[in-house]
Amino acid sequence: MIMKKKIKTENKLQTYAYYISLSCFFMAILNIIHTIYVIKIEFAAASFIIPTFAGLLFGSIFAQIKILSSQLSDMAFTDSLTHIYNRLHFANFLTTQVDKTKRYGGTFSIIFFDLDNFKEVNDNYGHLAGDHILEQVTKLVSAANRSADIFARYGGEEFIILTPETDLDGALVHAERLRRGIEIFEFKTVGHITSSFGVAEFNADKDSVDDILSRADTALYMAKELGRNRVEKA
Protein backbone atom coordinates (compact mmCIF):
# COMPACT_ATOMS: atom_id res chain seq x y z
CA MET A 1 0.00 0.00 0.00
CA ILE A 2 2.87 2.37 0.85
CA MET A 3 4.47 1.69 -2.53
CA LYS A 4 1.15 2.34 -4.33
CA LYS A 5 0.73 5.66 -2.51
CA LYS A 6 4.32 6.61 -3.39
CA ILE A 7 3.74 5.81 -7.07
CA LYS A 8 0.49 7.81 -7.09
CA THR A 9 2.25 10.79 -5.48
CA GLU A 10 5.07 10.63 -8.04
CA ASN A 11 2.56 10.42 -10.90
CA LYS A 12 0.70 13.43 -9.52
CA LEU A 13 3.90 15.49 -9.27
CA GLN A 14 4.89 14.47 -12.79
CA THR A 15 1.47 15.50 -14.08
CA TYR A 16 1.76 18.89 -12.40
CA ALA A 17 5.29 19.44 -13.73
CA TYR A 18 4.30 18.46 -17.26
CA TYR A 19 1.23 20.66 -17.57
CA ILE A 20 2.78 23.66 -15.80
CA SER A 21 5.91 23.49 -17.97
CA LEU A 22 3.86 23.10 -21.14
CA SER A 23 1.56 25.95 -20.19
CA CYS A 24 4.44 28.28 -19.30
CA PHE A 25 6.17 27.49 -22.60
CA PHE A 26 3.11 28.26 -24.75
CA MET A 27 2.26 31.39 -22.78
CA ALA A 28 5.82 32.65 -23.24
CA ILE A 29 5.77 31.94 -27.00
CA LEU A 30 2.41 33.67 -27.42
CA ASN A 31 3.63 36.68 -25.47
CA ILE A 32 6.77 36.97 -27.63
CA ILE A 33 4.68 36.82 -30.82
CA HIS A 34 2.18 39.33 -29.47
CA THR A 35 4.87 41.76 -28.27
CA ILE A 36 7.04 41.72 -31.37
CA TYR A 37 4.60 41.19 -34.22
CA VAL A 38 1.26 42.54 -32.99
CA ILE A 39 1.83 45.52 -30.72
CA LYS A 40 5.39 45.93 -32.10
CA ILE A 41 7.22 47.14 -29.02
CA GLU A 42 10.65 46.30 -27.74
CA PHE A 43 10.74 42.96 -26.01
CA ALA A 44 12.04 43.07 -22.42
CA ALA A 45 12.82 40.45 -19.80
CA ALA A 46 9.96 41.78 -17.70
CA SER A 47 7.62 40.58 -20.42
CA PHE A 48 8.21 37.03 -19.16
CA ILE A 49 6.69 37.74 -15.74
CA ILE A 50 3.00 37.89 -16.69
CA PRO A 51 3.03 34.86 -19.05
CA THR A 52 5.02 32.89 -16.49
CA PHE A 53 2.43 33.50 -13.77
CA ALA A 54 -0.38 32.87 -16.23
CA GLY A 55 1.33 29.67 -17.30
CA LEU A 56 1.63 28.53 -13.69
CA LEU A 57 -2.07 29.24 -13.14
CA PHE A 58 -3.36 27.55 -16.28
CA GLY A 59 -0.91 24.66 -15.93
CA SER A 60 -2.12 24.02 -12.39
CA ILE A 61 -5.74 24.06 -13.58
CA PHE A 62 -5.00 21.65 -16.45
CA ALA A 63 -3.09 19.33 -14.11
CA GLN A 64 -5.98 19.27 -11.62
CA ILE A 65 -8.40 18.41 -14.42
CA LYS A 66 -6.14 15.62 -15.66
CA ILE A 67 -5.69 14.15 -12.17
CA LEU A 68 -9.42 14.35 -11.42
CA SER A 69 -10.20 12.64 -14.72
CA SER A 70 -7.77 9.84 -13.87
CA GLN A 71 -9.30 9.41 -10.40
CA LEU A 72 -12.82 9.24 -11.83
CA SER A 73 -11.66 6.64 -14.34
CA ASP A 74 -10.16 4.54 -11.54
CA MET A 75 -13.39 4.80 -9.54
CA ALA A 76 -15.43 3.67 -12.53
CA PHE A 77 -13.30 0.66 -13.45
CA THR A 78 -11.59 -0.59 -10.27
CA ASP A 79 -12.48 -1.70 -6.78
CA SER A 80 -11.43 0.93 -4.23
CA LEU A 81 -10.02 -1.56 -1.69
CA THR A 82 -8.23 -4.17 -3.81
CA HIS A 83 -7.52 -2.00 -6.88
CA ILE A 84 -8.48 -4.77 -9.29
CA TYR A 85 -11.41 -4.53 -11.70
CA ASN A 86 -14.87 -4.11 -10.23
CA ARG A 87 -17.93 -6.16 -11.12
CA LEU A 88 -19.29 -3.63 -13.61
CA HIS A 89 -16.10 -3.41 -15.65
CA PHE A 90 -15.62 -7.18 -15.53
CA ALA A 91 -19.04 -7.51 -17.18
CA ASN A 92 -17.73 -5.50 -20.15
CA PHE A 93 -14.76 -7.86 -20.56
CA LEU A 94 -17.02 -10.90 -20.28
CA THR A 95 -19.49 -9.60 -22.84
CA THR A 96 -16.66 -8.89 -25.26
CA GLN A 97 -15.17 -12.35 -24.72
CA VAL A 98 -18.53 -14.05 -25.30
CA ASP A 99 -19.05 -12.15 -28.56
CA LYS A 100 -15.50 -12.90 -29.71
CA THR A 101 -15.80 -16.61 -28.94
CA LYS A 102 -19.17 -16.97 -30.65
CA ARG A 103 -17.87 -15.21 -33.75
CA TYR A 104 -14.35 -16.55 -34.11
CA GLY A 105 -14.36 -19.76 -32.10
CA GLY A 106 -12.08 -20.83 -29.28
CA THR A 107 -13.03 -21.19 -25.65
CA PHE A 108 -12.66 -19.65 -22.23
CA SER A 109 -13.61 -20.45 -18.66
CA ILE A 110 -14.85 -18.62 -15.59
CA ILE A 111 -13.45 -19.20 -12.10
CA PHE A 112 -15.75 -17.96 -9.37
CA PHE A 113 -14.57 -18.12 -5.75
CA ASP A 114 -15.13 -16.69 -2.32
CA LEU A 115 -13.57 -16.92 1.13
CA ASP A 116 -15.07 -19.45 3.54
CA ASN A 117 -16.76 -18.18 6.71
CA PHE A 118 -15.61 -14.64 6.02
CA LYS A 119 -18.40 -13.11 8.09
CA GLU A 120 -16.89 -14.81 11.15
CA VAL A 121 -13.56 -13.16 10.39
CA ASN A 122 -15.17 -9.72 10.38
CA ASP A 123 -17.18 -10.51 13.52
CA ASN A 124 -14.23 -11.92 15.48
CA TYR A 125 -11.33 -9.79 14.27
CA GLY A 126 -12.95 -6.65 12.89
CA HIS A 127 -13.40 -5.21 9.42
CA LEU A 128 -9.84 -3.89 9.21
CA ALA A 129 -8.55 -7.45 9.51
CA GLY A 130 -11.10 -8.51 6.91
CA ASP A 131 -9.94 -5.77 4.54
CA HIS A 132 -6.33 -6.86 4.99
CA ILE A 133 -7.28 -10.43 4.02
CA LEU A 134 -9.07 -9.23 0.89
CA GLU A 135 -6.03 -7.19 -0.11
CA GLN A 136 -3.65 -10.08 0.53
CA VAL A 137 -5.82 -12.60 -1.34
CA THR A 138 -5.87 -10.17 -4.26
CA LYS A 139 -2.06 -10.09 -4.29
CA LEU A 140 -1.79 -13.89 -4.08
CA VAL A 141 -4.21 -14.50 -6.92
CA SER A 142 -2.86 -11.69 -9.09
CA ALA A 143 0.64 -13.12 -8.79
CA ALA A 144 -0.59 -16.59 -9.82
CA ASN A 145 -2.76 -15.43 -12.73
CA ARG A 146 -1.53 -15.11 -16.29
CA SER A 147 -1.24 -11.64 -17.78
CA ALA A 148 -4.20 -12.44 -20.06
CA ASP A 149 -6.53 -13.38 -17.18
CA ILE A 150 -9.14 -10.83 -16.13
CA PHE A 151 -9.43 -10.69 -12.35
CA ALA A 152 -12.16 -8.77 -10.52
CA ARG A 153 -13.78 -8.38 -7.14
CA TYR A 154 -17.37 -9.44 -7.66
CA GLY A 155 -18.65 -8.21 -4.33
CA GLY A 156 -17.83 -8.62 -0.63
CA GLU A 157 -15.51 -11.62 -0.34
CA GLU A 158 -16.40 -12.92 -3.83
CA PHE A 159 -13.93 -12.82 -6.71
CA ILE A 160 -14.12 -13.85 -10.35
CA ILE A 161 -11.55 -14.66 -13.04
CA LEU A 162 -12.02 -14.81 -16.79
CA THR A 163 -9.43 -17.15 -18.32
CA PRO A 164 -9.18 -16.68 -22.11
CA GLU A 165 -8.27 -19.67 -24.29
CA THR A 166 -8.60 -22.03 -21.32
CA ASP A 167 -10.78 -25.13 -21.28
CA LEU A 168 -12.43 -26.65 -18.21
CA ASP A 169 -9.50 -28.90 -17.34
CA GLY A 170 -7.03 -26.05 -17.49
CA ALA A 171 -9.27 -23.80 -15.40
CA LEU A 172 -9.72 -26.54 -12.79
CA VAL A 173 -5.95 -26.91 -12.46
CA HIS A 174 -5.57 -23.17 -12.05
CA ALA A 175 -8.40 -22.98 -9.51
CA GLU A 176 -6.89 -25.78 -7.44
CA ARG A 177 -3.54 -24.01 -7.48
CA LEU A 178 -5.20 -20.84 -6.20
CA ARG A 179 -7.20 -22.70 -3.54
CA ARG A 180 -4.06 -24.35 -2.23
CA GLY A 181 -2.14 -21.09 -2.26
CA ILE A 182 -4.78 -19.36 -0.13
CA GLU A 183 -5.07 -22.33 2.24
CA ILE A 184 -1.36 -22.51 3.12
CA PHE A 185 -0.81 -18.75 3.40
CA GLU A 186 -0.64 -17.37 6.93
CA PHE A 187 -2.58 -14.15 7.22
CA LYS A 188 -1.71 -11.53 9.77
CA THR A 189 -3.86 -11.77 12.94
CA VAL A 190 -6.25 -14.36 11.50
CA GLY A 191 -3.83 -17.12 10.55
CA HIS A 192 -5.15 -19.54 7.94
CA ILE A 193 -8.38 -19.26 5.95
CA THR A 194 -9.86 -21.34 3.15
CA SER A 195 -11.77 -20.65 -0.04
CA SER A 196 -14.26 -22.38 -2.32
CA PHE A 197 -14.23 -22.38 -6.11
CA GLY A 198 -16.73 -22.91 -8.89
CA VAL A 199 -15.48 -23.38 -12.47
CA ALA A 200 -17.41 -23.35 -15.75
CA GLU A 201 -16.29 -23.52 -19.39
CA PHE A 202 -18.15 -21.43 -21.94
CA ASN A 203 -20.33 -23.33 -24.41
CA ALA A 204 -20.59 -21.21 -27.54
CA ASP A 205 -23.59 -23.17 -28.84
CA LYS A 206 -25.93 -22.42 -25.97
CA ASP A 207 -24.35 -20.14 -23.36
CA SER A 208 -25.03 -16.46 -22.91
CA VAL A 209 -23.28 -14.13 -20.46
CA ASP A 210 -25.89 -14.92 -17.82
CA ASP A 211 -25.64 -18.66 -18.50
CA ILE A 212 -21.89 -18.93 -17.94
CA LEU A 213 -22.11 -16.83 -14.78
CA SER A 214 -25.01 -18.89 -13.48
CA ARG A 215 -23.21 -22.18 -14.05
CA ALA A 216 -20.04 -20.96 -12.34
CA ASP A 217 -22.13 -19.70 -9.43
CA THR A 218 -23.91 -23.06 -9.19
CA ALA A 219 -20.56 -24.85 -9.09
CA LEU A 220 -19.42 -22.53 -6.29
CA TYR A 221 -22.61 -23.30 -4.38
CA MET A 222 -21.86 -27.01 -4.78
CA ALA A 223 -18.38 -26.49 -3.33
CA LYS A 224 -19.96 -24.82 -0.31
CA GLU A 225 -22.53 -27.54 0.16
CA LEU A 226 -19.91 -30.30 -0.08
CA GLY A 227 -17.86 -28.93 2.79
CA ARG A 228 -16.01 -25.83 1.51
CA ASN A 229 -12.31 -25.50 0.73
CA ARG A 230 -12.69 -27.31 -2.57
CA VAL A 231 -13.05 -26.79 -6.33
CA GLU A 232 -16.18 -27.89 -8.18
CA LYS A 233 -17.02 -27.76 -11.88
CA ALA A 234 -20.30 -26.89 -13.55
pLDDT at residue number 189: 87
For residue 219, tell me if it sits in a domain.
Answer: yes
For residue 82, tell me if it sits in a domain.
Answer: no
Element (H, E) at 232: strand 231-233
Among residues 75, 108, 127, which one ends one of the domains? 75
The answer to which of 68-82, 195-209, 214-228 has the lowest mean pLDDT is: 68-82
Among residues 53, 75, 97, which one ends one of the domains? 75
Same domain (yes/no): 64, 140: no
**For the segment 23-38, what is each residue's pLDDT rounded down to a tens digit?**
666 666 666 665 656 6
Dihedral (CA of 90, 96, 99, 102) sign:
negative
For residue 81, tell me if it sits in a domain.
Answer: no
For residue 80, tell me if it sits in a domain.
Answer: no
The answer to which of 46-50, 142-146, 158-162 has the lowest mean pLDDT is: 46-50
For residue 20, tell me if it sits in a domain.
Answer: yes
pLDDT at residue number 27: 63
pLDDT at residue number 77: 81
pLDDT at residue number 2: 34
Same domain (yes/no): 98, 183: yes
pLDDT at residue number 5: 42
pLDDT band at 62; cut points 50, 70, 90: low
For residue 205, tell me if it sits in a domain.
Answer: yes
**Average pLDDT value for the chain:** 84
Same domain (yes/no): 36, 102: no
Q: Which residues form the catalytic set? A: 157
**For the segment 210-230, what is each residue's pLDDT rounded down to a tens digit?**
999 999 999 999 999 999 999
pLDDT over 50 at 182, yes or no: yes
Among residues 15, 48, 75, which one ends one of the domains? 75
Same domain (yes/no): 111, 205: yes
For the residues 55-65, what does the mean pLDDT come to? Answer: 64
Angle at 161 between CA 159 and CA 162, to 5 degrees: 150
- CATH no. for residue 201? 3.30.70.270
How many domains is the chain built from? 2
Same domain (yes/no): 64, 132: no
Q: Count Cβ atoms below 10 Å from residue 232 Cβ, excluding itself.
A: 21
pLDDT at residue number 47: 57
pTM (global) more than 0.75: no
pLDDT at residue number 7: 44
Same domain (yes/no): 154, 201: yes
For residue 169, tell me if it sits in a domain.
Answer: yes
Same domain (yes/no): 157, 42: no
Same domain (yes/no): 136, 210: yes
Q: Which residues fall within 8 angstroms of residue 79, CB to CB, at 6 or more apart?
A: 85, 86, 152, 153
Same domain (yes/no): 47, 146: no
**For the segment 103-155, what is each residue's pLDDT rounded down to a tens digit?**
999 999 999 999 999 999 999 999 999 999 999 999 999 999 999 999 999 99
pLDDT over 70 at 234, yes or no: yes
Q: Which is nearest to 137 in space by CA: 162, 120, 154? A: 154
- Boundaries of domain holding 68: 2-75
For residue 60, tell me if it sits in a domain.
Answer: yes
Same domain (yes/no): 29, 94: no
Same domain (yes/no): 152, 210: yes
| Rounded Cα distance, 180 and 191, in Å | 15
Same domain (yes/no): 15, 120: no
| Rounded Cα distance, 224 and 169, in Å | 20
pLDDT over 70 at 175, yes or no: yes
| Rounded Cα distance, 147 and 169, in Å | 19
